[in-house]
Amino acid sequence: KASQAAEKRGWHLYLVGGAVRDLLLAETADQLMIKDIDLVVDGFHKSADVGAGVELAKALQELYPAARLEIHGAFQTAALLWHKDPELNSLWVDIATARTEFYPYPAANPEVEASSIRQDLYRRDFTINALALRLTSPRSGELLDFFGGLLDLQAKQIRVLHANSFIEDPTRIYRGVRFAVRFGFDFEPRTEEYIRYAINSGVYDRTTQHNSRTPALQTRLKTELKHILEAPYWKSALQLLDNLQALQCIHHTLSLDAELLRQLRLLERCLHRFDPQLTLVHWQMRLEALIAHLEPKYREKVAKNLQLQEDSIHRLQNLAQTQAEVRELLPQLQRPSQIVQLLKKYDLPMLILIALQSPRSLRKQIWHYLTVLTHIQPILNGNDLKKLGYKPGPQYRQILDDILAATLDRVITNKPEAELFLST
Ligand code: CTP
Confirm or reject: Cβ of 38 under 6 Å from ligand 1: yes
**Which element (helix H / strand E) includes 97?**
strand 89-97
Across the beta sheet with 11-16, the strand order is 68-72, 77-85, 89-97, 36-43, 11-16, 132-134, 143-144
For residue 399, the model assigns a pLDDT of: 86
Is the pLDDT at 301 greater than 90, yes or no? yes
For residue 214, the model assigns a pLDDT of: 58
The mean pLDDT of 154-158, rounded to a whole number, is: 97
Cis amide prior to 138 (ω within 30 degrees): yes
Confirm or reject: Cβ of 129 under 6 Å from ligand 1: yes
244: confidence class by pLDDT, cuts 50, 70, 90? very high
Is the pLDDT at 50 greater than 80, yes or no? no
For residue 236, the model assigns a pLDDT of: 97
Is the pLDDT at 82 greater than 60, yes or no? yes
Which protein residue has the closest C-alpha to ligand 1 atom 7? 124
Is the pLDDT at 100 greater than 70, yes or no? no
DSSP 222-264: HHHHHHHHTSTTHHHHHHHHHHTTGGGGT-TT----HHHHHHH
Interval 312-345: pLDDT, tens: 999 999 999 999 999 999 999 989 999 999 999 9
Q: Return the ligand 1 atom nearest residue 227 CA.
A: 28
- Considering only residues 402 and 89, tell me which one the structure prediction assigns the higher pLDDT: 402
Confirm or reject: Cβ of 99 under 6 Å from ligand 1: no
Residue 103 has what DSSP assignment?
A: S
What is the whole-number distance in angstroms between the Cα of residue 18 and the centre of ligand 1?
6
Long-range contacts of 137-140 (CB under 8 A, 24+ apart): 137/3, 137/7, 140/3
Is the pLDDT at 389 greater than 90, yes or no? no
Alpha-carbon distance 42 to 115, whole Å?
A: 9
Residue 289 has what DSSP assignment?
A: H
Q: How many CB atoms lie within 10 A of CB 338?
A: 16
The residues with which 157 forms a beta bridge, in sequence order, are: 186
ipTM: 0.95
Alpha-carbon distance 41 to 8, whole Å?
A: 13
- Considering only residues 299 and 2, tell me which one the structure prediction assigns the higher pLDDT: 299
Taking the CA of residue 197 as centre, how many other CA atoms within 13 Å lie in the half-sphere pointing to its CB?
A: 12
Alpha-carbon distance 199 to 422, whole Å?
A: 67
The fraction of the chain above a pLDDT of 90, given in percent, is 64
Alpha-carbon distance 414 to 317, whole Å?
A: 43
Is the pLDDT at 111 greater than 60, yes or no? no
- Considering only residues 387 and 314, tell me which one the structure prediction assigns the higher pLDDT: 314
Phi, psi dihedrals of residue 38, rounded to the nearest 5°:
-110, 125
Contact 317, 299 (CB under 8 A): yes
Q: Return the ligand 1 atom nearest residue 22 CA.
A: 27
The mean pLDDT of 265-270, rounded to a whole number, is: 96
Alpha-carbon distance 349 to 334, whole Å?
A: 24
Confirm or reject: Cβ of 165 under 6 Å from ligand 1: no
From 356, 342, 237, select the one nearest 288 (Cα to Cα): 356
For residue 102, the model assigns a pLDDT of: 46
What is the whole-number distance in angstroms between the Cα of residue 296 and the centre of ligand 1?
34
For residue 74, the model assigns a pLDDT of: 63
406: confidence class by pLDDT, cuts 50, 70, 90? confident
Q: Which of 167, 175, 218, 227 to mutate to test the pocket of ligand 1 (most atoms within 8 A of CB)?
A: 175
| pTM greater than the 0.90 cutoff | no
Alpha-carbon distance 79 to 417, whole Å?
A: 66
For residue 112, the model assigns a pLDDT of: 39
Phi, psi dihedrals of residue 356, rounded to the nearest 5°:
-55, -35
Interval 3-28: pLDDT, tens: 999 999 989 999 999 999 999 999 77
Alpha-carbon distance 6 to 52, whole Å?
A: 9
From 312, 175, 188, 328, select the one nearest 249 (Cα to Cα): 175
What is the whole-number distance in angstroms between the Cα of residue 129 and the centre of ligand 1?
7
44: confidence class by pLDDT, cuts 50, 70, 90? low
Alpha-carbon distance 193 to 171, whole Å?
A: 16
What is the chain's mean pLDDT, rounded?
Answer: 89
Confirm or reject: Cβ of 169 under 6 Å from ligand 1: yes
DSSP 24-51: HH-SSGGG----EEEEEEEESSSPPPTT
Q: Return the ligand 1 atom nearest residue 172 CA.
A: 8
Confirm or reject: Cβ of 17 under 6 Å from ligand 1: yes
